[in-house]
Structure 1
């Protein structure tokens, strides 16, 4: 059975707190394990969350501010220490190449893991596979930053009653799916479209076209909400979003599940983020907490 969930490793912004580690998010997506923005302490948070280095198949860094990347040296070295056999792709803004190289080689270690560096230099697809398409879009921050979007292609869901009517069973079902036709029976005769799921990851940014493009129609939007609306001027000045702005994106883009994260240490009561977002967005809102596991919502019936 496939597993799709977000494992939250850290939810703080620039300054960690007693209860919030620096950033870190692992998306389990069937056979993929995509680690987003490993900040300081990610390796230990993985241990507490029950995540192994062998679970990581891909690393995505949005930008090279410390709270989003200073955990990279530990992760890179842990991949070798645990002798991870599969190659791990690493995506990050191409302008930060020197930072990635420095972090990857921050200290001496015996390297055995294979890390494929795949810097992002333009909007569009950065990887394809059985998971679908991983895309990147430029964001509006103080330095070059990108957000990521995972798009699963549409598939087919078989209707068992129709299969029985046509006497199709066993290996013939797979043949029909692959070939699109079996004798006089078309795949459309015995199935309906199964919409692919979509996931978006948006960190440090002001509102911009890239934010809305990434969030468009996704099942899960993980998005920074560093500030509350009372501090909108600070948010704009420092290249961040408020909870209200994140909720506006979710509402306008038809998001199903909104996950707020990356909170400034100035706010003591996390329920304020939920309350502010709920005034704008009437869908599911989750205020992320460290070590939380968030299932990807079940597919909607057509």
Structure 2
């Protein structure tokens, strides 16, 4: 099981199909488990994908349209049914507080799990920890919507040959990483002499939106970009009218932002040929393109 991977739970948009459940995306990021936009049926999709409720540490909602949130009641109640011992932090637009209250208490159940509500009110960082920084940006949809971005701090990659040449091994490697320098055999060895910069990994999640500054800010340098591509370019006018992107627009964003792997999702039920989404995005983007399918598992690309 990969330490950092995306588990796709659903890929439909407004209406599910025989092969596509409503939205749902689980990001496993070391000890963190972020569940994004659980639409109707997410609890069952988690079972099919082998994602236990205990793996969830954060519930992240982009906006309050039903295909992105109608699975919240089942997920919240499952946390209590399974007696998940750790708190689960819930992020969602503050303007939809009344809807979150209704979803969280949609029916009678014995609530024992701890849900810590953290409503979103502005762009910027919303959580920091050993996993890095989780931040949000406003998007341009028919109602208030936010996209999410997870950024691991930059670090350094140790060079085994240089470490051996400097006579550093075992626990001393960790000391050097923590302290920045180490005295070895009468000389001072600096961390920069035995390592090279290592860029932290970046993940971005962009759901219902027109093109806007927030889309580009979220996608910037992402190793893995999960982005809606509800429409094909032939229906670009519809996409703009209803606050969505086309596959071609998603590909252009990924190319300009330097994305490594582009994951397309949130497909309108009007289309029956998923390869058309790949073709449109690939015409603008030279990196890896994944047309997401339910229950796909997509690894976060390894560090450069």
Partner of residue 296, structure 2: 292
Residues 1:168 and 2:163 aligned together: no
Structure 2: give runs of 5+ residues left out of the alignment: none
Partner of residue 259, structure 1: 263
Partner of residue 279, structure 2: 275
Secondary structure of the 1:119 match is: strand
Partner of residue 85, structure 2: 85
Structural RMSD (CA): 0.9
TM-score (normalised: structure 2):
0.97
Deviation track 1:50-101 (CA, whole Å, cap 9, x = no partner) reads 1100111111000000000000000001011111111111101111111111
Structure-2 separation of matches of 1:94 and 1:182: 49
Partner of residue 202, structure 1: 206
Structure-1 separation of matches of 2:266 and 2:165: 53
Partner of residue 8, structure 1: 8
Structure-1 separation of matches of 2:151 and 2:93: 20
Deviation track 1:3-58 (CA, whole Å, cap 9, x = no partner) reads 11100000000000000000000001111110000000000000110110011111
Residues 149-168 of structure 1 mapped to structure 2, 5 A cutoff: 149-168=149-168
Structure-2 separation of matches of 1:144 and 1:233: 21
Secondary structure of the 1:144 match is: coil
Residues 1:28 and 2:32 aligned together: no
Partner of residue 62, structure 1: 62
Residues 96-245 of structure 1 mapped to structure 2, 5 A cutoff: 96-183=96-183, 184-245=188-249
Structure-1 separation of matches of 2:160 and 2:179: 18
Secondary structure of the 1:92 match is: strand
Structure 1: give runs of 5+ residues left out of the alignment: none
Would the aligned equivalents of 2:2 and 2:299 in 1 still touch at CA under 8 Å?
no
Partner of residue 71, structure 1: 71
Count of aligned pairs: 300
